[in-house]
Amino acid sequence: MPLPEGGMRALTTEESWDLLRQAVIGRLAVVHDDAPDIFPVNYTVDHGTIVLRTAGGTKYEAARNRPVAFEVDGYDLDRAEAWSVVARGKAVEVRDVDDSIAVMSLPLMPWAEGSKPHLMRLVPDTVTGRRIRVVGGARRP
């Protein structure tokens, strides 16, 4: 769908989920020690949730069973348009044995070395996105 005058439009929920499925890295936003913090993470989408693996530590403690935000961005060279999607909801640790087995079969491999034993599902209350025409933006030849 073309962008309206002004060069920006809100994405539908379905369009936002489609873009979430295409991206490979996102940013998990949490509150830690009364201050916001952001962590880059790889993830996958599964049944209307965003799934990630993590080690223990600040990210895990700040996100576990708490409200979080998750964001992905991209750039479409064919259209010279940027896009951004934000999901807001709760990060729930996967503890159920059957759900753990299901999550372990997803295409989600940690990038960094070391153990990432904690499985988390971000269960969004809202998923919103937008497309923006980039003035003078690069295009694919």
- Count of CB atoms within 10 A of residue 38's CB? 12
Residue 95 Cα distances to 68, 72, 100, angstroms:
19, 26, 6
* 69/135 Cα distance (integer angstroms): 28
Type of residue found at 94: V
Q: What is the pLDDT of residues 4-24, one digit of tens each?
A: 656 889 999 999 999 999 998
Q: Chain-centre distance of CA 61, in angstroms?
A: 18
pLDDT at 140: 74
Domain boundaries, the chain: 8-133
Model confidence over 102-131: pLDDT tens digits? 777 777 777 777 778 788 999 999 999 999
Q: Which CATH number fits domain 8-133: 1.10.1060.10, 2.60.40.1120, 2.30.110.10, 3.90.330.10?
A: 2.30.110.10
Check residue 11 and give its pLDDT.
96
Q: Write down the pLDDT at residue 2.
A: 63
Q: What is the CA radius of gyration of the chain?
A: 16
Question: What are the residues facing 103 on neighbouring strands?
Answer: none
pLDDT, tens digit, 9 for 90 and up, residues 26-82? 999 999 999 999 999 989 999 999 999 888 888 889 999 999 999 999 998 888 889
Tell me what pLDDT residue 101 has. Answer: 72
Average pLDDT, integer, range 70-97: 91
Per-residue pLDDT, 18? 96
What pLDDT is attached to residue 43? 92
Distance between CA atoms of residues 76 and 26, nearest Å: 17
| pLDDT for residue 102 | 75
Q: What confidence score (pLDDT) does residue 98 get?
A: 74
